[in-house]
Amino acid sequence: MRSSLVMASDATVGCGAPHVVIIGAGFGGLAAAKGLRSAAAQVTIVDRRNHHLFQPLLYQVATAALNPSDIAQPIRRILRRQRNVSVALGEATGVDLAARKVVLREEEELQFDYLILATGATHSYFGHDNWEHSAPGLKTVEDALEIRRRVLVAYEAAERESNPAIQREWLTFVIVGAGPTGVEMAGALAEISRRVLSLDFRRIEPCRARIVLIEAAVRVLPAMSPESSANAYRQLVRLGVEVMTNTAVTGVDNNGVNHASARIAARTVIWAAGVAASPLARSLGMPLDRAGRVVVGSDLTLRGEPRVFIIGDLAALQQDGKPVPGVAAAAMQEGRHAARNIVHSIRGETLEPFRYIDKGTLATVGRAAAVIDFGWIHLSGLVAWVLWLAVHIFYLIGFRNRVLVLTEWAWVYLRNERGARLITGEVEPLIERGEHREEQ
Amino acid sequence: MRSSLVMASDATVGCGAPHVVIIGAGFGGLAAAKGLRSAAAQVTIVDRRNHHLFQPLLYQVATAALNPSDIAQPIRRILRRQRNVSVALGEATGVDLAARKVVLREEEELQFDYLILATGATHSYFGHDNWEHSAPGLKTVEDALEIRRRVLVAYEAAERESNPAIQREWLTFVIVGAGPTGVEMAGALAEISRRVLSLDFRRIEPCRARIVLIEAAVRVLPAMSPESSANAYRQLVRLGVEVMTNTAVTGVDNNGVNHASARIAARTVIWAAGVAASPLARSLGMPLDRAGRVVVGSDLTLRGEPRVFIIGDLAALQQDGKPVPGVAAAAMQEGRHAARNIVHSIRGETLEPFRYIDKGTLATVGRAAAVIDFGWIHLSGLVAWVLWLAVHIFYLIGFRNRVLVLTEWAWVYLRNERGARLITGEVEPLIERGEHREEQ
């Protein structure tokens, strides 16, 4: 079938204007689309989802502090006033560079003059894809709701269970990987058990839940400074999290985690470790790095393809001998840069090299505690936490979201109340899933 | 397996206190639990869900105005301070009256001295259960999210579609049944198409969507006064809804609805018609009415079982020759009454007959329009709408929910913005589901 996605042309741009296709509406893709606001181009942005997701707060959906719609906005809504952009809901399955087209599911095709690939990354289980069922990761709204469901169901199952050993397993939560997501998850899970649920049960004491954070590197937050690591470690221990660094996981199943020296029996395991680039990269037939990312030039184009740009977590880019990190700030800078280079190209100018400017990294460790690296200064504790709140509120898209997220955070902070403690979907199979562990 | 659900006894009540089991934590069950606050009894409330749902606002979740957690609260949270109540997550599959026990899924059992059955009702397709797949109803959070997904995907599919006839079908929405839920859904869908989405698409004009409301009775809102019906009808027509009364649906499939005289081609059909009592009723082996409800005496007990109470939509109760309506107010009154009668029974006193006090019915028809019947006065338009808002805010459980719902409503009203426009779950199969209609 020929494409039905060739978009109606925008009168202000004209029919002969080049067609820029952006695949992925994450931080990178959206920044690129906005960067093309005044370009003499028609832009089509394609995403599998109808919404842009503010991923840094996704763990708060998983831990019942926020609703999905607090941190997500319809892509159409964000770009509604930019008349040279069309939004299409669809999944890109491959790129045909020679024919200059993107192939979508359902055999539709999308012809392009310029292409920006920004499909990001997903979890990597280091070759153990069978671990995924037992230890879901956290990339999409659905992932977050699934983790929330498992956490809440675990307490319900513990309350129902009469065998103390099994009850103990239900009350053990293991997080694999102590990057920002793992640290934030561990802190939030500790707070839920210590503060939020304390009065809600009759037979179990939620505050006795065991939260274990496992990291293969020698310290938590390995990408941050040693000071920040040490601060985060101290704050985690104060919250009652068991931190195990220098510990590689060797096995995961529905009932626990194995590492080199022992086994931890746990019915809830959350994966916050490896990252792998989106599989779309492979369809390019171009050199990939070990994580499956596409090697790009300093102007963000694909080797030999001056009209094809790769940005965000999908791109493998070196700067001063170090890889540009897979963070939102880098993806946004790259998106804006790719847009600028497309404008240059349309005008027949030469492309500019990209330079990542590191504005600092930050992570939160539960209520009123966070760590921030600005390079020249390291902050921790309450000051860092207030800055963390401010930065996240500032970057949330939409005034409505900012109001609602602030309201929800006030509740979490003042009342120890997490508003989104709903279990949706089936409950019983999840409880039963644990029951049959002895057979495995 | 013997029950592991016999709950830890509450010290203030004592071990010998009778055990009251409540099945279902809707309006009726929750009112009963609260009514037993000071009773010399141990109470266990069992529900399949971990949350109590404020069903009258569920259509607002389906139409993306509210989040599920705005209208739902964890049952444990609501009852956390009532120490003689235990909450159990579980599904009752049958009742053994002779042995005085409730059977749960997973072969667990729950022994009771008193039983309150409050499992409510579900949709009825009048014997055409195969219509359910094509025309989902609206009873649970999952139902609401499914309808929201279908509505939002329909606009996306229309934008992608190049065949004008199929595009038209994607932009046709049929609601079957013009009770309060159907009228409210139709009004909200009309507003979405006319106001919310107007700027978001490039190829389709959402305001040209067709919203059809079909009702078998001679007027909309048949349970309300003729004045209210006429007012609601006028308000619906003003919003651009096609209202077809006196029209019985004879067939439903993925691509439309048949009625006596014609067929309406539509890719989105929503069921807001019949109601059937929860199937648990059948396990009692007692007389049921045509809708599957259990016939109860005026003291709300089951015939010959003075310790078993049936309340809410599960009970078939006549008063002054008319059935007590299946509304939240009636369920709550019955719940409180059953609790009072259990206290009487524990003290060896005689049970009191129940009397339903009708405090009025109300329905909203889109923004700034509603109808209210108080019996002695009928209101419509803006005044009715403000009252409708106030009543719903007042009965929402939890101060947090009231704040958030007010914030969201302010957005809907002032900005024509529906905050929860997220499509979660798989998108493509839904679009494809429509594509293959010709084969059916």
- Rounded to the nearest integer, the mean pLDDT of chain A is 89
CB contacts of A420 in chain B (<8 Å) are 67, 69
Q: Pick A77's closest partner by Cβ from B91, B421, B423.
A: B421
In this structure, the dihedral spanned by the alpha carbons of residues A77, A80, A81 and A86, taken in order and rounded to 10 degrees, is: 150
> Which tens digits make up the pLDDT trace of A197-242?
988 999 999 999 999 999 999 999 998 999 999 999 999 999 999 9
Q: Which residues pair with B122 in a beta bridge?
A: B276
CB atoms within 10 A of CB B200: 19
Residue from B105, B405, B422, B436 whose CB has the most chain A CBs within 10 Å, to mutate: B422
CB contacts of A435 in chain B (<8 Å) are 106
Instruction: Report the pLDDT value the prediction gives residue A436, as an integer from 0 to 100.
Output: 35
Residue from B159, B166, B402 whose CB has the most chain A CBs within 10 Å, to mutate: B159
Q: Pick B422's closest partner by Cβ from A141, A156, A423.
A: A141
Instruction: Verify whether the Cβ–Cβ distance B423 to A51 is below 8 Å.
Output: yes
Task: State yes or no: pLDDT of A189 exceeds 80.
Answer: yes
Length of chain B counted residue by residue: 440
Q: Which 8-state DSSP code applies to residue B196?
A: I
Task: Give the residue-averaged pLDDT of A31-36.
Answer: 98
| B216 min Cα distance to partner chain A (Å) | 33
Instruction: Verify whether the Cβ–Cβ distance A68 to B422 is below 8 Å.
Output: yes
Coil, strand or helix: which one is A346? helix
| Annotated catalytic residue, options A184, A191, A334, A408 | A184
How much is the ipTM here? 0.85
Give DSSP secondary structure letters for B394-429. Answer: HHSSSHHHHHHHHHHHHHHHHH---TT----S--HH
Domains and CATH numbers, chain B: 19-48+90-123+275-346 (3.50.50.60), 129-273+367-435 (3.50.50.100)
> Which tens digits make up the pLDDT trace of A324-364?
998 999 999 999 999 999 999 999 999 999 999 988 888 88
Instruction: Verify whether the Cβ–Cβ distance B74 to A201 is below 8 Å.
Output: no
Instruction: Report the pLDDT value the prediction gives residue B189, as an integer from 0 to 100.
Output: 96
Instruction: Report the pLDDT value the prediction gives residue A296, as an integer from 0 to 100.
Output: 95
Give DSSP secondary structure letters for B78-113. Answer: HTTT-TTEEEEE--EEEEETTTTEEEEGGG-EEE-S
Q: Which of A360-369, B157-166, B417-426 has the highest mean pLDDT?
A: B157-166
| A100 min Cα distance to partner chain B (Å) | 21
CB atoms within 10 A of CB A240: 16
Instruction: Report the pLDDT value the prediction gives residue B339, as an integer from 0 to 100.
Output: 98
Q: Pick B407's closest partner by Cβ from A7, A407, A431.
A: A407
Output the six-digit token pair for A336. Answer: 């804006």
How big is chain B by its Cα radius of gyration, in Å?
A: 23
Residue pair A83/A12 in contact by the 8 Å Cβ criterion: yes
How far apart, in whole angstroms, are the C-alpha atoms of residue A263 and residue B5? 30
Give DSSP secondary structure letters for B260-277. Answer: SS-EEE-SEEEE---EEE
Instruction: Verify whether the Cβ–Cβ distance B419 to A411 is below 8 Å.
Output: no
Residue pair A301/A307 in contact by the 8 Å Cβ criterion: yes
> Which tens digits make up the pLDDT trace of B40-68?
999 999 999 999 999 999 999 999 999 99
Output the six-digit token pair for B217. Answer: 């009775």
Q: Which 8-state DSSP code applies to residue B279?
A: G
Give chain B's count of helices (H) and strands (E): 11, 27
Instruction: Verify whether the Cβ–Cβ distance B417 to A403 is below 8 Å.
Output: no
Task: State yes or no: pLDDT of A9 exceeds 60.
Answer: no
Tell me the whole-structure pTM to 2 decimals: 0.89
CB atoms within 10 A of CB A237: 11
User: Would you tell me the crossing angle of helices B180-191 and B226-238 to the nearest 10 degrees?
Assistant: 20
Question: Least CA distance to A203: which residue of chain B?
Answer: B8
How far apart, in whole angstroms, are the C-alpha atoms of residue B141 and residue B59? 10
